[in-house]
Amino acid sequence: MSVPLADFLRRIKPHVNGCPEITIADTLIDVLRDTCNTCDLWKDDRQMVVVVNGVNAYELDAPPDTEISKVLSVTRENGNRFDGWHHNGRNTLHINYTPGEGQQLRLWVTTSLIPAYGITELPTSVFSELVSFVPFGVAARLQDIPGTNWYAPDLANKNQMKYRSRCNELKIKTMAGFTQANQQATRRRFV
């Protein structure tokens, strides 16, 4: 199931009275992209890549209306972590491994996604995590534009603080596979 981005707009409009809807929508997508990139909230679980001899670059597929932000993990078929890879920030995964002649290596790749610029809907699970604080981030950016009717730098600062605080809480919540000590160190640094 998915939720239209218009559900965000009605939560933002009262805070930036007079701002054109297209400006709000563009800023919303920028804030959503930044938030999803920071928090690794939207994950695409387990694409399979078959590594063959002589090929070291493999294209990853992103679901419609999304882009791959980063590769979170690469594992072998047995679930063990595979370390011989790097991601260039686009849809290409580079593998530093050469299987024997006639052999293949199957790897499972988990990626973090960000919304594409043309997106009109978010999955319900992503929307429900973001709806409580992303409007603060959008309002903060818009209220910080000098020379506009909705310019309010003090309010922008307050909204930015609310947004950052909730974004950091979500980042800590979405950390998977980290030890308790790593989570506590991150919590101290971000909260």
Could you read off the pLDDT of 51-67 as tens digits, one per residue? 988 888 999 999 999 99
- Rounded CA gap, 77 and 48, in Å? 9
Whether the predicted pLDDT of 70 surpasses 80: yes
The token pair at 129 is 């995590």
Domain ranges of the chain: 2-40+116-190, 43-114
Query: What torsion do the CA atoms of 143, 162, 71, 78 make, to the nearest 10 degrees?
Result: -160
CA distances from 11 to 111, 136, 183 (A): 30, 9, 32
The token pair at 172 is 């800590």
Whether the predicted pLDDT of 158 surpasses 90: yes
Strands 2-4 and 104-115: unpaired
Residue 19 in contact with residue 53, Cβ under 8 Å?
no
Whether the predicted pLDDT of 189 surpasses 70: no
- Average pLDDT value over all residues in the chain: 89
Amino acid at the residue 178: F
CA distances from 25 to 5, 52, 64, 130 (A): 8, 44, 19, 15
Could you read off the pLDDT of 167-183 as tens digits, one per residue? 999 988 887 555 555 55
> What is the mean pLDDT of the segment spanning 87-106?
83
Sheet holding 57-59, edge to edge: 57-59, 92-95, 85-87
